[in-house]
Structure 1
């Protein structure tokens, strides 16, 4: 369902077109060259490119070997959908992947991929700068880091499911002609979420930073969410809204708030709203400009009973007492 760029049995034609789409690479047919075939298709929106790639036929014997140059400016997350591939960094790692398995190719490694006949995969391409910004947030450093990934797939079955979820969301957006093509805000949010999930779910390895903190979001992400909340606390934010502004996943933002502030993002939002409500109660008590219910609704508390309970728990008195005492 993606636009096809290559559907050919010509080795040289395939090498030229896919080299232009990815990076220059060596392409060899391991077997009868008359059995070589390739299919390549891609589409996307600003920030993410989705592609499909197949080499050979499951009904024939010829295998395929590719040796791309380092990717340089982007990363590839590869999911094998049919057949089997073996990806390796010569002298370092080797990883066999079957249907449903994933691996990440970072911009810095040389690698080769051995394709069984008819093997097929889908890839998600992300800019290196987006991923390395997400890695900096995850590792608690201010600037981008040189993010590299081991070939061993996701860090856990739960992480694999999380990555599969964002991958499917991207696929639906691309194949279904979603608004990310024409709405830069949506495209940016999807790209940032995908980059954060990549860092949080795959085996990140780095140099010069504490890689043991992989998956822990830095205070920089907390500050971004706090700035949004403190600027417009009356708006009906969801956890997803705050996570998008922080450029991390909702779960990662929850963990960061617990670590740095011993609260949750929505708990922090509630506290800010209570502070603003108290300020307004003190003003209204002096000039009679509003009631308790006016102020509660103004700051997003739709249930007066819950507002009163939260206010009493924080300030030791009901909001009506604050209002009346200010005027006395």
Structure 2
């Protein structure tokens, strides 16, 4: 995963809208900034606090949001209504959050991780004490036009995204690049705020890269033309098997059989569309699931590193630790201990 770089620019360029320990005040202000939402302090209400600031240029809004304090114990739970007219690309910089869409999916996202909240469905986010994130807000219509371009369609299409981060490590690095450019424009000396042409171009580029790097849920019957979104039917079939049964043993031959192509053809398709191999993708999914379990076990003590490694098919603990450190920048024991 491409980790977020140090935030460029001056945070004082953002306008602070909330700096409060009052639940009602925070709920009212952020409901106006985003969408109406429920806000709960999971613990001693005296430990609740919130800080929210934003800034931007026409087409893109950058927000910086924190709930609670890492020195205290209270977590925060938010339940917004569907966003409706815009999408949020969320980049966790401190702590962790657990994001869920009722009845559908859940993911745990630690520092350096990303996820997309689309405009169409309700969700809830549980914040660790002191968790903090940047969000990049884009208009729904801009993202839907970018999705149509990616699908080779004339009319905008509903842009819905699965949780779980970018489609590949290379895609994550690409998103980190445009995210850094947006932050530099807003927090630094950029001209997008004063130049409508620059603002429009940067907005279009950001929307296109959101669609091209994140897990777009493809409308039925659409034929994807661009490599940022997986368009090869065999790749999609292999990915579906991996996502549904990542804890089961799979060989290249197994994945190729599920994809209904030869092993060599599947390898070439993965290289072209995801810049990885089928077994590399399997390992990436397993590492992501292991990361989620380590975060959960760190909160409730339900498992050890070896339990989680074996659960997700890593029989060699040394290799698991090496893969994990490369992917997340720290040993699995560190994630488990919090």
Verify same fold: TM over 0.5. yes
Q: For the Cα contact (< 8 Å) 1:205–1:211, is it kept in 2?
A: no
User: What corresponds to 1:42 in structure 2?
Assistant: 54
CA–CA distance in 1 between the matches of 2:84 and 2:168?
Answer: 28
2:104 corresponds in structure 1 to 92
Q: Counterparts of 1:127 and 1:215 in 2: how far apart (Å)?
A: 23
Moved more, 29-38 or 205-214: 205-214
Q: What are the equivalent positions in structure 2 for 1:306-321 lying under 5 Å apart? A: none
2:67 is equivalent to residue 55 of structure 1? yes
**For 1:151 and 1:214, how far apart are their aligned partners in 2?**
20
186 and 212 in structure 1: CA distance in 2 versus 1, 3 angstrom threshold = closer
Question: Relative to 1, partners in 2 of residues 1:193 and 1:59: Cα closer, same or farther, differing over 3 Å?
Answer: same
Distance (Å, rounded) in 2 between the aligned partners of 1:125 and 1:157: 22
Distance 2:34 2:211 in 1: 22
Matched, 1:124 2:156: no
Larger radius of gyration: 1
Distance 1:27 1:154 in 2: 28
Change (3 A) 1:147 1:215: farther
Aligned ranges 1:142-161 → 2 under 5 Å: 142-161=154-173
Q: Which has the higher contact order (CA 8 A, sep 6+)?
A: 2
SS of the aligned residue for 1:135 comes to: helix
Verify the 8 A CA contact 1:172 1:178 in the aligned structure 2.
yes
CA distance 1:83–1:159, shift in 2 (3 Å) = same
Measured in 2, the distance between the counterparts of 1:211 and 1:155 equals: 17
1:193 corresponds in structure 2 to 205
CA deviations on 1:199-236 (whole Å, 9 max, x unpaired) are 1000000323426546479xxxxxxxxxxxxxxxxxxx
Is the contact between residue 49 and residue 69 of structure 2 (CA under 8 Å) also seen in structure 1? yes
**Normalised by the size of structure 2, how large is the TM-score?**
0.63
| Corresponding residue number in structure 1 for 2:87 | 75
Select 2:125's aligned residue among 93, 100, 113.
113
Contact 1:139 1:209 in 2 (8 A): no
How far did residue 176 of structure 1 move? 1.2
What is the match of residue 29 of structure 2?
17
- Distance, in Å, in 2 between the alignment partners of 1:148 and 1:44 is 24
Q: 1:3 aligns with which of 15, 35, 48?
A: 15
Equivalences, count: 218
